[in-house]
Amino acid sequence: MTTQIARMLASKAKDEGRLCYITNCIRYLESRNLSLREYWQAGAERVGGDRVSADAEAVALSLEMLNSVGIRASVDLGSMSVIRKLMDRFKINDYKRLTGAIGSKSIDDLRKVTGDRNAIETFTLLMTKRGKAEMIRAIADKAGCLEDEYEYFRDLYRALDAYGCASSVFVDLSTIREMAYYNDLVFEIFTWGIGLPIGGGGRYDAMMKDFGINTTATGFALSIDLCVRALGGPQGNSNETLKVYYQDGFRDKGIELARRLRGSGKCCTLDAYKGERSGILVGEKAVKIESGEEYEP
Amino acid sequence: MSPDPDRQERIILALPNKGRMREPALNLLKSAGVSVTGDDRSYLSKTSNPGIDLLSVRAADIPVYVYYGIADLGITGRDIVAETGLEVYELADLGFGCCNLVVAVDKDSGIRSPSEIPHGSKVATEFPNVTKAYFDELGVLVETITLRGAVEIAPRLGLATAIVDISSTGATLEKNRLSAIGKVMSSSARLICNKISYKTKYDKVEEITNRLRVSP
């Protein structure tokens, strides 16, 4: 959806703002591809703003969204600008083969791209280690460049720390997004037990310029299908889903309780009370229907 | 189906259930301190390391199990990974199962290189995707025919002008009066990893990878 949103913003000459969406997408795939042709995704885009602040906001929001529905996720950061600068530093021209080697952590493929020993050592370090901002320091020391990138990542981690999510964010520079429009930070979001990234995003300033707007942009999208799978399937786990009912005139209080429960990571449903014999009933007070005891979430 | 909570603590390593790579893979694991306990022909086996289970499946299916995260790690041929085209990490060249994927034609065909194969020719192979990509890059338009074994007899029976098949010593090609005229790729056994397992089980994956790398 990122391309469509960038085009829409360009058509409205909008160079500052925040947008979000939940929609179904349809893509063309070769028949051998194992992915879905139609899928649902939710995303958010930040247009304009300071580079570090906007990137941190996008990463933090993605984790907060997942946390709010009970998915504990982590993020891996990559950087297309780091790869471009290292390509310039080591005079490597074959971007496609290099990113293919990095994306699959294949040192054999890397050796086919360059024979420069220092380049191989630097890219091997980049591909095989995962950590925090000091990862960039180690690569910068090896390559003799990337000082700006190191400062950017340090500042990004300070901002992520302020959002309270720095411990869930790692630097793995073999994180490559397939979409060519990302020109700087890229990131992938994942949770254990799901073999594929459940979301991802990055910075795409260059595409905004291609559409004729001189602004910056960053954003992300989450796969709703994979989030549903991470939560245990479309029906959820009935043993863990709390059923909340409200009496006539107490719908607002019911909604408030449901939001609090979901905000704390619990799954719940909310319906008007029609004589059910189990669950939580919201009236003047919230009570457990089975026992009549007051309910405290 | 929701993720199995027990899986968070364990590594499942997929390896071929038969064929030329199974025994070297088991030997490598043994030298890294991981031995199968119980029936090693069972599709899911426990090992001497309580944190590692082995999944025995067809070598050709291992990238699929790893891609979807059913197995965290897998040992299979690089040719097979390339054929599936699935995005997995390739953490180590394990140094066995070495072979070349070659283009071969009948010795008497007069064709000396892949670019001399006439446009529209049929090429029989077990690797249709790699074959198509190879000839596309070469600019030669061929029709790939997918076979599931005994590919080397296709030219003699008139099914195909050429074949793309694995060759270790060249003996099978020689026996079937074929000559290799081009190399598509070199292959050997690789340790592959699911991208999310690499991140969520980083320490364990790194430990196993290092042990397999340094094992003789």
- DSSP character at residue B155: T
Q: Which of B195, B198, B203, B213 is the best mutation test for A, with the most CBs of A within 10 A?
A: B195
**B38 vs B118, higher pLDDT:** B118
| CATH 3.30.930.10 assigned to A2-230 | yes
- DSSP character at residue B35: -
Using a pLDDT cut of 90, give the percent of chain B over it. 72
Residue from the list B88, B93, B202 with its beta carbon closest to the beta carbon of A130? B202
Query: Touching check for A190 and chain B: CB below 8 Å?
Result: yes
Q: What value, to the nearest 5°, has the Cα angle with vertex B12 and ends A103 and B60?
A: 65
- All structural domains of chain A with their residue ranges: 2-230, 242-288
What is the rounded CA–CA span in Å between residue B25 and residue B73? 13
Distance from the Cα of B108 to chain A's closest Cα (Å) equals 34
Cβ(A61)–Cβ(A42) below 8 Å: no
Task: Specify the pairing of strand B73-77 against strand B11-16.
Answer: parallel
pLDDT score at A239: 54
Helix, strand, or coil (residue B31): helix
Q: Which domains does chain B have, with CATH numbers?
A: 5-97+188-214 (3.40.190.10), 99-187 (3.40.190.10)
pLDDT score at A33: 55
pLDDT score at A34: 57
Give the type of residue at B12: I
What is the rounded CA–CA span in Å between residue B73 and residue B197? 8
pLDDT score at A107: 87
Q: How confident is the model at residue B4 (pLDDT cuts 50, 70, 90)?
A: low
What is the rounded CA–CA span in Å between residue A227 and residue B1? 12
Query: Touching check for A238 and chain B: CB below 8 Å?
Result: no
Residue pLDDT, tens place only, B94-107: 989 999 999 999 99
pLDDT score at B99: 92
- Residue A104 has a CB neighbour count (10 Å cut-off) of 25
Tell me if A2-230 shares its fold with A242-288.
Answer: no
Task: Kindly provide the ipTM of the predicted complex, given to two decimals.
Answer: 0.71
- Residue B61 has a CB neighbour count (10 Å cut-off) of 18
pLDDT score at A272: 93
Residue pLDDT, tens place only, B11-67: 999 999 988 899 999 999 999 988 888 766 678 888 888 899 999 999 999 999 999
- DSSP character at residue B154: T
Cβ(A34)–Cβ(A62) below 8 Å: no
What is the rounded CA–CA span in Å between residue A117 and residue A121? 6
Given a cut of 60, whether residue B171 has pLDDT beyond it is: yes
Query: Touching check for B121 and chain A: CB below 8 Å?
Result: no
pLDDT score at A109: 86
pLDDT score at A9: 78
- DSSP character at residue B200: H
Residue pLDDT, tens place only, A76-106: 999 999 999 999 999 999 998 999 999 999 8
Give pairs for A117-124: CB < 8 Å, separation 24+. A118/A90, A118/A142, A118/A143, A119/A86, A119/A90, A119/A92, A122/A86, A122/A90, A123/A86, A123/A98
DSSP string of chain A?
-HHHHHHHHHHTT--SEEEEEEEEEE----TT--S-SEEEEEEEEEESS-HHHHHHHHHHHHHHHHHHTT---EEEEEEHHHHHHHHHHTT---HHHHHHHHHTT-HHHHHHH---HHHHHHHHHHHH--BSTHHHHHHHHHHT--HHHHHHHHHHHHHHHHHT-GGGEEE-TT---S-TT--SEEEEEE-TT-SS-SEEEEE-HHHHHHTT----EEEEEEEHHHHHHHTTSTT--TTTPEEEEE-TT-HHHHHHHHHHHHHTT--EEEEE-SS-SSSEEESSSEEETTT-PBP--
pLDDT score at A238: 47
CA nearest B82 in A: which residue?
A104
CB contact under 8 A, A193 and B88: no
Strand-pairing partners, residue A200, are A188, A221
pLDDT, averaged per 10 consecutive residues of chain A (297 residues), comes to 81 81 82 70 92 95 93 95 95 92 89 93 92 93 93 96 95 87 93 88 89 88 92 61 92 92 86 91 93 88
pLDDT score at B44: 85
Instruction: Tell me which chain A residues have a C-beta less than 8 angstroms from the C-beta of B185.
Output: none
pLDDT score at A251: 94
Query: Touching check for A192 and chain B: CB below 8 Å?
Result: yes
Distance from the Cα of B199 to chain A's closest Cα (Å) equals 8
Q: Taking a contact as any Cβ pair under 8 Å apart, which residues of chain B between 46 and 65 contact chain A? A: 64
**A242-288 maps to which CATH number?**
3.40.50
Q: How is residue A114 written in tokens? A: 């360059």
Distance from the Cα of A106 to chain B's closest Cα (Å) equals 5
Q: Which of B83, B199, B202 is the best mutation test for A, with the most CBs of A within 10 A?
A: B199
A235 Ramachandran zone, left/alpha/beta (phi>0; psi -120 to 50):
alpha
H-assigned helices in chain B: 22-31, 62-67, 78-84, 128-138, 171-175, 195-200, 202-214
